[in-house]
Amino acid sequence: MQGWTRLIRNATVASCVDGKPYGLIPKGAIALAGNRFAWVGPAKELPSALPKSVAVTDVRGALVTPGLIDCHTHLVWAGSRYREFEQRLNGTSYEEIARAGGGIASTVTATRAAGESDLLSLALSRAARLVAEGVTTIEIKSGYGLDRDNELKMLRVARSIGKRLPLTVRTTLLAAHAVPPEFKGRADDYIKCVCDEILPAAAAEGLADAVDAFCERIGFTPAQIERVFTRAQELGLAVKLHAEQLSNQRGAALAARFKALSADHLEHVEKEGVVALAAARTVAVLLPGAYSYLRETKRPPVELLRVHRVPIAIASDLNPGSAPLASLLLNLNLGCTLFGLTPEEALLGVTRHAARALGLRKERGTIEPGKFADLVIWNAEHPAELAAQFGMVRPVAIVREGAS
């Protein structure tokens, strides 16, 4: 009981620790010591006399989960791509739009033109939507700047979001997202610029926690990405990859070779890639919102991921082109209805496994003594409710690093 400051009792605790479904403790209690969890277990195992200084909250049976983690977003951008939504519904594909100079390139034009403070207020309002639904940690990527100054501008905006909202932000440099117009037809030269200029600048300013790339016919080849990853690792940065979203480029195997934190999308991954992810303990991040928004039909091979025991995370992919859907909870539901995940897999995908996808496995993602005290109290009684509906189960209270 030493150092206990707060006790939450009469809770249905979905601790998300390994060992039993949801890490569920039906009549549970959670003790905090400052910004960390100090104790969690069945209420009947609590010591009988608590020091008076401990603030006690009775949540009357309500569900308590770890703070949610959205481990893949591109929420810093300017402009809108609603016309592409119209185009796609009139029969043009995402890939065709990109090849015709729309898609990512159009967001790059708008984002380059935007000032840092405008970009910040746009991004803050999107991040606030996630915070309101219980998200306490997010990853935010650059990737709409595609030159040194604009990529750094995006990363600075991402970092400031973590100072203005009760949110832990992990930033990812995604300079290898698309070939910028000034390098048209010279992808290799752009990759050289990413490796020699953009990456070292982001690392020197401490603006990036990880490095990502888009491995795709409309993105970069595995050979080009290998150069980016090699440079990232020389600079001490973790890597992750947009892999197998529209086609199988063997991106998952590449990511695994570099011991990537995660390989994301994976609709087109095959057995070889899955086996490689399993061996590297790389997290498979599934993005059902993007799959749904692009009206894709090839689902990621969930059963294969299960059989090979690849940790599965779910994220919003919040971005202007393939997923302008500012809700992680929506993705829990879509993960189940579209990909066949169970509600338990969905919840672990936005808690324990999402923490691993961000390199935060030891600090966040479960309710366990020693970890940061990020938690959500819900108007629900059972953790399956989080995925089993949309828009009705909401946070009653959110605690981030011990503060609400």
Residues between 283 and 342 with contacts to Fe ion, criterion CB under 5 A? 317
CA-CA distance, 104 to 97, in Å (whole number)?
Answer: 9
Label residue 89 exposed, middle or buried (CB < 10 Å: 0-12, 13-18, 19+). Answer: exposed
Note whether 344 and 385 are within 8 A (CB). no
Interface residue with ligand NIG among 111, 322, 327, 366 (CB under 6 A) is 322
358, 371, 364, 322: which is closest to 208 by C-alpha? 358
Note whether 215 and 237 are within 8 A (CB). no
Number of residues that bind Fe ion (CB under 5 A): 1
Nearer to ligand NIG, 77 or 258 (CB): 77
CA-CA distance, 266 to 248, in Å (whole number)?
Answer: 8
123 binds ligand NIG (CB under 6 A): no
- DSSP symbols for 192-227: HHIIIIIHHHHHHTT--SEEEEEESTTSB-HHHHHH
242 binds ligand NIG (CB under 6 A): yes
Q: Which positions from 270 to 309 touch ligand NIG by CB under 6 A, shown as an x/- string? A: --------------------x-------------------
For residue 346, the partner it binds in Fe ion, ligand NIG, none, with Cβ less than 5 to 8 A by kind, is none
Q: How far is the CB of 103 from ligand NIG (least distance, A)?
A: 5
Alpha helices in 199-351 (DSSP H): 199-204, 222-234, 251-257, 271-280, 288-293, 302-307, 328-339, 343-349
Q: How far is the CB of 304 from ligand NIG (least distance, A)?
A: 21
- DSSP reduced 3-state for 399: strand
CA-CA distance, 45 to 40, in Å (whole number)?
Answer: 10
Residues between 138 and 197 with contacts to ligand NIG, criterion CB under 6 A? none
Q: How far is the CB of 41 from Fe ion (least distance, A)?
A: 38
107 binds ligand NIG (CB under 6 A): yes
70 binds Fe ion (CB under 5 A): no
Nearer to Fe ion, 15 or 73 (CB): 73
Nearer to ligand NIG, 191 or 398 (CB): 191
Interface residue with ligand NIG among 321, 349, 383, 395 (CB under 6 A) is 321
CA-CA distance, 347 to 353, in Å (whole number)?
Answer: 9
Residues between 58 and 97 with contacts to ligand NIG, criterion CB under 6 A? 74
Note whether 351 and 345 are within 8 A (CB). no
Which residues lie near ligand NIG (CB under 6 A)? 74, 103-104, 107, 214, 242, 245, 290, 317, 319-322
Which residues lie near Fe ion (CB under 5 A)? 317
